[in-house]
Copies of this chain bind each other. A is one copy, B any other.
């Protein structure tokens, strides 16, 4: 895995909250060097003028970069990270791919296209094979690889090892999602203070379809979605970072809690084997304290802060073959920029970029 040359990368939509998260993670990155950052209303400003939170976590040289206009004609780089809003992503990502550029996108625009990989590096790296399908079908020199919705990520990571070992028939999930998941300015304070909002636009549909695709199997040139009955309810709560998900699931085959504990705690993927820079030692951290995980206390857990999913409240449910647990996944790290950067690291290691 020795490659001494860094890739030159562009971050599209760098002035939004998601974009700023990328820049934290790409600060002093061993594989990637940020050459361009783009935006819209903030074009011409320096990054440091638009950063909302945590400017101290972004490398000084990045803070001094000037935000350029998102223009497919003029900007060139080895790799494009896209943190664009979905409507802009629809046009721009395609134009870049057509022009031969490689795009890794956290936008939802292309996630569910049949020839576009939707990747969690520990869960379904084999889906990257769709890149060739995509290129052939669309006659593109470049390609688009996508990463999932922030709520999908934690769920798919926890379901994966259980699905592999015991099969899963049905899942019922109620989420309690952090404010940062809605971007900035996002949720008005008057709506959420001392309140819960039991609805997030289009979120339940995304989580369902994305999870089934990610857990699906690559058969020839298509992905056959996993055959699981998924039932999702999404809620916005007054937390800053970290989506909490209360999960009930029924397996195909009987299990013991001890077996579940073992397969969750030992779950590993290529990023751990390759020791990629953004790969946490433990993909899943089991926290057996009775009242954990908690968003404020645990959302930065793990050897790479915010990249592990924390699972607690593991217990057998009263229904047959069924399990209950609560998981916490950092929506701005693992659920957005961190997932995309880890995907890029894997592709870099595997010479796909």
Quote the shortest CB–CB distance from A174 to chain B (angstroms).
4
Chain B residues closer than 8 Å to A292, beta-carbon distance: 198
Interface residues of A in 152-193 (CB under 8 A from B): 170, 172, 174, 176, 179-180, 184-193
Instruction: Report how far A161 CA is from B195 CA in the complex, Å.
Output: 28
Chain B residues closer than 8 Å to A240, beta-carbon distance: 190, 193-194
Q: In the complex, identify which listed stretch (A67-75, A228-236, A255-263, A341-349) lies at the interface while the others stay far away.
A: A228-236
Chain B residues closer than 8 Å to A291, beta-carbon distance: 197-199
* Residue from B172, B180, B324 within 8 A of A190 (CB atoms): B180
* Residue from B52, B229, B324 within 8 A of A231 (CB atoms): B324
Tell whether A290 is near chain B: CB-to-CB under 8 Å.
yes
Instruction: Report how far A239 CA is from B235 CA in the complex, Å.
Output: 13
Q: Do B239 and A199 touch across chains, with their CB atoms under 8 A apart?
A: no
Tell whether A86 is near chain B: CB-to-CB under 8 Å.
no
Instruction: Report how far A114 CA is from B35 CA in the complex, Å.
Output: 56
Instruction: Report how far A200 CA is from B149 CA in the complex, Å.
Output: 29
Chain B residues closer than 8 Å to A235, beta-carbon distance: 176, 244, 246
Q: Do A179 and B197 touch across chains, with their CB atoms under 8 A apart?
A: no
Quote the shortest CB–CB distance from A300 to chain B (angstroms).
9
Q: Do A176 and B199 touch across chains, with their CB atoms under 8 A apart?
A: no
A317 (CB) vs chain B CBs: closest residue: B231
Instruction: Report how far A246 CA is from B192 CA in the complex, Å.
Output: 18
Q: Do A188 and B184 touch across chains, with their CB atoms under 8 A apart?
A: yes
Which interface class (under 10, 10 to 19, 20 to 34, 35 or more) fits A? 35 or more
Instruction: Report how far A296 CA is from B198 CA in the complex, Å.
Output: 12
Tell whether A238 is near chain B: CB-to-CB under 8 Å.
yes
Q: Do A290 and B239 touch across chains, with their CB atoms under 8 A apart?
A: no
Tell whether A252 is near chain B: CB-to-CB under 8 Å.
no
* Residue from B174, B319, B322 within 8 A of A246 (CB atoms): B174
Quote the shortest CB–CB distance from A179 to chain B (angstroms).
5
Instruction: Report how far A240 CA is from B290 CA in the complex, Å.
Output: 23
Interface residues of A in 322-350 (CB under 8 A from B): 322, 324, 326
Known: A188-B186, A199-B290, A292-B198. A231 touches B246 (CB 8 A): no
Tell whether A19 is near chain B: CB-to-CB under 8 Å.
no
Q: What does the 1/0 interface line of A237-257 toward B look like (CB < 8 Å)?
A: 111100010101000000000
Instruction: Report how far A291 CA is from B233 CA in the complex, Å.
Output: 12
Quote the shortest CB–CB distance from A162 to chain B (angstroms).
16
Q: Do B195 and A295 touch across chains, with their CB atoms under 8 A apart?
A: yes
Q: List 16 A-B contacts (CB under 8 A).
A: A174-B233, A176-B176, A179-B189, A184-B188, A185-B190, A186-B190, A187-B188, A194-B296, A195-B239, A196-B244, A198-B244, A198-B246, A198-B294, A231-B319, A233-B313, A235-B246
